[in-house]
Amino acid sequence: MNYDLIIARYGEIGLKSPKIRSRFERKLVKNIKATFECEVDRNQGRIYIHPKDFDEGTEKLNRVFGVVSYSPATSTGANYEDIDKTLADYTKELVSEKVLDENTKFAIKCRRVGKHDFTSQEMAAHCGGVVRDVVLAPVDLTNPDLTIFVEIRDDDAYIYHEKIKGPGGLPLGTQGKVVVLLSSGIDSPVAAYLMMKRGCEVVALHCNNDPFSGPKVTELFNLLVDQLNEYAKGVPIKKRVVDYGEYLAAAKDKAPEKMTCVLCKSGMYRIAEKLANKIGADAIVDGSSVGQVASQTLSNILATRQGVGMPILSPLIGLDKEEITAIAKDIGTFEISKIDDGGCSAVPRYPETRADVERVIKACKDMNQDMEIQKAFEKIRKID
């Protein structure tokens, strides 16, 4: 098709106050420009994108949070003569590409903004005649096989027939910063993605459990962040790694062995809180899903979060493994996460599943958790 622009639409941004809406629109435009080379105009709730490489634009726009849907379109003047010629050419291309033939039930939907010497219904009826002059396809306004949209805004008109679903959500970078506990598994990358979809800037914190885990874990962490960064153009994910093996060794040696996983998760939260306070983040995010593993029973979730004074968000909390895996496959992290990383040898044979806060507090004292956390925190490093 001879497209010359892409029309992008947003959803809940339009519900914001005018001031907030304008700020979110500007951020969305900035993120689009960071994703692929283009020129962008805003006008009355629509974003008009002129990509340098059209195929790249249509491929990558579905990775920009805030975009609910988008349509490759052809522009023309908002008058009968220009619309007639452009729509006739557009219909001929639909026929040549076998999208439309004499057996295709079609409809015209016309939307109009501004002052014109015709109504939307009049233009829709007229455009239906233009299409039928090219191909004698049946009109069906109730259940069409194909809908051709004619959108008229002041002096310009746009013709398109596809509405491609975008990721939706809010523009990345409009909702503050979060520290995400990101492992090499399936769940936490999906949790990071869902928080990005809600507009949050992500700082990914990886706990390197060496010698209880191998170098593959950190390698996969880097690959996962690279994949998630495909959705983070304009606000790329920052990476932090903490050497966590010494903390885990103290937990195993100085506290009941069955409490190792509980103490491990507790320590991660507290280190993440320290990092969040240092960098100005507002919350911690993890990939917890109720009952999925030993540390994610309701009693353990409560116990591991004691002593943390910052919100801990778990966007996967009510999803099952199949639902989480489906999202992971869709965003491209599943194939990375399923690579064998060797696992963690610190996991006890019979991990605690019903920890209570008092026992966790005692175990934390036994292992001198405050000291071990401070030692680990001092070793946090950035990865470029």
Give the pLDDT confidence of 345-374 residue by residue, as tens digits.
Answer: 888 888 888 888 899 999 999 999 999 999
In this structure, the answer to whether residues 209 and 139 fall within a common structural domain is no
Residue 43 maps to which CATH number?
3.30.2130.30
Residue tagged 């522009």 (tokens): 75
Give the pLDDT confidence of 287-299 residue by residue, as tens digits.
Answer: 999 988 777 889 8
Give the pLDDT confidence of 46-68 residue by residue, as tens digits.
Answer: 899 999 999 999 999 999 999 99
pTM: 0.93
By percentage, how much of the chain surpasses pLDDT 70? 100
Contact of 273 with 310, CB cutoff 8 Å: yes
In this structure, the answer to whether residues 190 and 121 fall within a common structural domain is no
205, pLDDT greater than 90: yes
Residue 172 lies in a domain: no
Structure tokens at 21: 């809406």
Structure tokens at 200: 């949050």
Query: Quick one: average pLDDT of 311-318?
Result: 97
Residue 318 maps to which CATH number?
3.40.50.620
Last residue of a domain, one of 165, 188, 210: 165
Residue 170 lies in a domain: no
Residue 222 lies in a domain: yes
Q: Residue 227, Cβ neighbours under 10 Å: how many?
A: 18
From start to end of the chain, where are the E strands?
A: 5-9, 38-43, 46-51, 69-77, 106-113, 146-153, 156-160, 164-165, 177-181, 201-208, 238-243, 283-285, 312-313, 381-383
In this structure, the answer to whether residues 119 and 219 fall within a common structural domain is no
Question: What is the number of residues in the chain?
Answer: 384
Dist. CA 296–CA 26, nearest whole Å: 40
Q: How confident is the model at residue 241 (pLDDT cuts 50, 70, 90)?
A: very high
In this structure, the answer to whether residues 120 and 250 fall within a common structural domain is no
Sheet holding 283-285, edge to edge: 312-313, 283-285, 177-181, 201-208, 238-243, 381-383
In this structure, the answer to whether residues 119 and 201 fall within a common structural domain is no
In this structure, the answer to whether residues 280 and 214 fall within a common structural domain is yes
Amino acid found at 150: V
In this structure, the answer to whether residues 128 and 268 fall within a common structural domain is no
Q: Characterize the bridge pairing of strands 283-285 and 177-181.
A: parallel
Residue 155 lies in a domain: yes
Q: Domain residues for 243? A: 177-383
Dist. CA 251–CA 261, nearest whole Å: 9
**pLDDT at residue 46, as a whole number:** 85
**pLDDT at residue 45, as a whole number:** 78
Residue 171 lies in a domain: no
Which residue from 180, 166, 128 is spatially nearest to 284, judged by alpha carbons?
180
Residue 186 lies in a domain: yes
Q: What angle do CA 198, 203, 206 make, to 5 degrees?
A: 125
The total number of structural domains in the chain stands at: 2
Q: Characterize the bridge pairing of strands 283-285 and 238-243.
A: unpaired
In this structure, the answer to whether residues 208 and 348 fall within a common structural domain is yes
Q: Characterize the bridge pairing of strands 201-208 and 238-243.
A: parallel
In this structure, the answer to whether residues 212 and 120 fall within a common structural domain is no
Residue 206 lies in a domain: yes
Residue 156 lies in a domain: yes
Structure tokens at 97: 């590409």
Helix (H/G/I), strand (E/B), else coil: 300? helix
In this structure, the answer to whether residues 38 and 183 fall within a common structural domain is no
Residue tagged 């109009």 (tokens): 112
Dist. CA 320–CA 290, nearest whole Å: 9
